[in-house]
Amino acid sequence: MKRLFYATNNLDDAESISDEVHKLGIDDHHFYVLSRDDSGIKSHHLHGSSNIDKTDIIAAKKRAKIMSFGISAIIVAIIALSTNTLNSQLLWAIFAAICAYVVINFILLITGGSFDGYFKSVINERLDSGEVIIIIDVEKAQSKKVEQQLDAHAQAQFLADSSNLASPIPD
């Protein structure tokens, strides 16, 4: 799935955008609003929160852990399949794969954490200025249709897109 981030001026615009994307087949569990106005979110019948730090919807760190584990598992599998017997070479290879996991995980966590921090600061800055952030999870096949709909919406400003792997929209 693909995650789309948009900004708009107020909750009325967010509600209008919500209605538009719902007509395209996006349900409430794939549409999320961030606004400092908790009562406004409820009165507009939107699924959302006032604080991005409570949502964990930006999860570059989690994706980094998954990727580093996957890369290390591939290294171990390749070494195990190329070695006939359990001997000291295999044990050293497994040790090397574990070390690779630690190094890859460290590098990816630093870069992922940097992205998380930067993007959260951008979102918080916009929220503090009174804007509303809209987060939409779409299937790849739906993404072009939703993006075209929102590009045509005068009040929707595209911010970014990413994967939603390891960071589901909160219930």
Read off the pLDDT of residues 114-154 as tens digits, 9 standing for 90 and up: 677 777 888 889 989 999 999 888 888 888 999 999 999 88
pLDDT at 9: 94
DSSP state, 163? E
Burial class (CB in 10 A: 0-12, 13-18, 19+), 100: middle
Q: Is 33 within 8 Å of 123 (Cβ atoms)?
A: no
Query: What are the sequence ranges of the domains in the chain?
Result: 16-51+59-142+156-162
Q: Residue length, the chain?
A: 171
User: Residue 30 has what DSSP assignment?
Assistant: G
Nearest to 166 by CA among 41, 68, 28, 49: 68
Instruction: Express each pLDDT in 28-41 by its tens digit.
Output: 888 889 898 988 98
Tokens of 157: 């400003």
> Higher model confidence: residue 119 or residue 5?
5
Measured between alpha carbons, how far is residue 29 from residues 25, 89, 100, 129, 145 in Å? Answer: 11, 49, 37, 26, 18
133 phi and psi angles, rounded to 5 deg: -105, 130
Phi and psi, residue 160, nearest 5° = -170, 170
**Is 60 exceeded by the pLDDT of residue 168?**
no
**Global pTM exceeds 0.85:** no
Find the mean pLDDT for residues 72-89: 69
